Structure 1
Amino acid sequence: MAANGGLHYLSGELIVTTSSTGAVSISPSSFFYSDNSSVPASPANGSQTVTVTMTSVASTLSVPSLTPGRFLINGTIYVRPAPDQPKVSYSGSNVLESYLATDGQTVDESLLGTGYTTVPLSGLLSSAPSELVTDNNFGLLTSTINGQSLYNQQASWQAGSAYMKVVRQVVGNTVGVGDCVAPETTGTNITPCSTTVSTLENFFPYASALDGTTYQLADGQITTLAGVRAWVANTALSTATPEYRVFYQSNGGIYAGYLIKDGTPLQIAPSGGATPTNFYIFLNSAALQSIKSAVNF
């Protein structure tokens, strides 16, 4: 709820350098920001539009420009805005998040929230629960470099600080698409893998630079997917949330995408390459402000 400060998801990539004297600096091309989401009223009053903003958690860094996602629906490519424009509603005892394309009407992806657990925070930030360090980008701050910390280790969580663990799954088969080869694009006209081959049977074998794999026709199944004739790999890609490589026929060429199957749980890869976890961590406003106050770069 907006009245309670909303929820905040940390994203970051820190490029750290050290001088010959051991001084630590953060490259200005780094980022450490928060996606801030809130709704004006409860979905019990009907579907609510989520307000999403992005703000830098570190005063010295900027919010990066994000590449909009693109999705294939009934044979048509739709672009998702960045930041997102979701709506939320109740589906029984669960929460349905419907993400809209730039037309403000077409739903390109739906997520069903089935579990919400709130964890209070108190004491020093340096004594944060281990899952907040490993399963959230708060962990980017916890490395000590040349004996120097990226945040004030004596800082404490503000009163009322907490985070929420959210378990969600994909509703319906979701097909994301993108450029198969250069040039890189951002709109609905994506770059195909081939303009000389028009049928999937004649496309393979195909050496994918995206995946570092040479695909054979027998490595997948041909089916109708998202309104097009598509080949779907039998084996998932090495992503936290299982995705399957897709090649599909359209406009006399072959294009690339990926499939997340209906009911797939959203997962995130923790730091250190451990087994993906099936929950995302969102901070409340007090927790976010605590981190902002403690960052020292």
Structure 2
Amino acid sequence: MISAKRTPAAILVAISSLIVAACGGGGEAGSDKASAMADKTGRAQSVEPVLSTNQQIFESFILVPSEGSFFLHWNLPYAGATSPSVNYAFSDYGLLTASPLTNGPQLSAQSSPQNITTTLGLPTPGVTRVLKNGAVIVAGTVNRVSYVDADVRVDTLSADNTTVAFSEIRSNYETVPLTGTIASTPADFAHFHNSFFSNATILEATATYLPGAAYLKFAQTNKGDRYNAFDCTTATTGANVSPCRTGTTLTAALTAGIVSNSDGTTYRLANGSITVVDGVSVWVATNPRPQSATLSATVQYRVYFALNGNVYTGALTKDGAVLGGSAYVSNPAGTTAVDRLTFLPFDIRLNKAAHDSIVAAMKI
């Protein structure tokens, strides 16, 4: 016969036994999670990957059926007339056909440049060279996009479309709508595109943005140390950058001193230290390059490196460094470029409606 009345101790024992039973009878540590992840047949359930907010915003511009993530390139005067022999304005865009979330890293080739003016020509394409794997390589126009935690990783590939030239992590994405007239453009967008908005001869201020026009604003940080390679004397366009010194060693060249006109400095051995990068001896300056030389929010360090009996130059952007975007004239009365400019620590991309709105408003 079972008594209908229980003591408090008996109730505690009964409750405890129920808790143990519900938890799987006190099995090995971790068995609870394993049980929760198994379906009725005992097979482990897969967890569907989910886009982060950053990745959702990124894909809203670049993943088909979207029509591309557009970027503007320009050399336009702050005010006054443009010169066809000097100035230009063009755009290009990137597009993904599949999401990196479920399909792994994806290649995105930058489109051919589109001239967005009727009075100016397209410039000769520039090149970016980096010291990588013991040699100077040329960055191409193809990016490899993948997702890292909640952020977006973009690897710029070399011309062979395989070797990674350099990488960046993009984060803090936000979408900003563009509505009303060109004259009412949000400050971040206008500042980033500086001369388009400061020079009254470039855009029609009364033109209006197309329905759905918007832009992306995001932050970028450098992934891994990046050693850019520059021409020291003669301008070149391939991997064979022009040297600063020939037939000498890095130590000998820097003991004598190497003048950098852009940095306004004579660099000497004591102004930095020598390290070895992928088998190449590289001297790195202790202090950053002056902002008057970089005209960017990105902090860079002058480097000289020895390769094939010659000494070459470039700049180091350290791992984790914030990559600057554009700059705008905030103090027209400033006596130097740095005094006149404010350097922006973010980047911007346009959707097609925003891009087409700017193109339609162009007066040149």
TM over 0.5: yes
Tell me if structure 1 keeps the 8 A contact 2:275–2:281: yes
Q: Which runs of 5+ in 2 are unaligned?
A: 1-62, 330-339
CA distance in 2 between counterparts of 1:16 and 1:256 reads 31
Which one has the bigger helix percentage?
2
CA distance in 1 between counterparts of 2:183 and 2:96 reads 31
Aligned match of 1:253 in 293, 310, 313?
Answer: 310
Structure 1 range deviating more: 261-270 or 101-110? 261-270
> How many aligned residue pairs are there?
284
Name the residue aligned to 1:13.
75
1:25, CA displacement in angstroms?
5.7
Tell me if structure 1 keeps the 8 A contact 2:151–2:169: yes
- TM value normalised by structure 2: 0.73
Q: Within 5 A, what are the aligned runs for 1:57-72? A: 57-72=116-131
CA distance in 1 between counterparts of 2:170 and 2:244 reads 35
Tell me if structure 2 keeps the 8 A contact 1:14–1:27: no
CA distance in 2 between counterparts of 1:269 and 1:17 reads 17
1:233, CA displacement in angstroms?
0.4
Structure index of larger Rg: 2
Name the residue aligned to 1:21.
none
Q: Which runs of 5+ in 1 are unaligned?
A: 19-23
Q: Which has the higher contact order (CA 8 A, sep 6+)?
A: 1
> Is the counterpart of residue 150 in structure 1 residue 202 in structure 2?
yes
1:269, CA displacement in angstroms?
4.2
Name the residue aligned to 2:240.
189
Structure 1 range deviating more: 62-71 or 229-238? 62-71
Tell me if structure 2 keeps the 8 A contact 1:15–1:27: no
CA distance in 1 between counterparts of 2:138 and 2:199 reads 40
Name the residue aligned to 2:265.
213
Task: Say which SS state the counterpart of residue 188 (structure 2) adopts.
Answer: helix
1:87-119 CA-partner distances (Å, limit 9, x unpaired): 101112111101110111100101111221100
Tell me if structure 2 keeps the 8 A contact 1:77–1:188: yes
> Is the counterpart of residue 172 in structure 1 residue 224 in structure 2?
yes
Structure 1 range deviating more: 24-33 or 209-218? 24-33
Which 4+ residue blocks in structure 1 deviate beyond 6 angstroms?
Answer: none
CA distance in 2 between counterparts of 1:3 and 1:63 reads 29
Name the residue aligned to 1:140.
195
> Is the counterpart of residue 293 in structure 1 residue 345 in structure 2?
no
Name the residue aligned to 2:188.
131
Amino acid in the other structure paired with 1:71: V
Amino acid in the other structure paired with 2:243: P
Tell me if structure 1 keeps the 8 A contact 2:78–2:199: no
Aligned match of 2:109 in 51, 66, 72?
Answer: 51
Percentage identity across paired residues of the two chains: 32
1:277, CA displacement in angstroms?
2.3
Q: 1:34 to 1:49 in 2, by over 3 A?
A: same
Task: Say which SS state the counterpart of residue 271 (structure 1) adopts.
Answer: strand
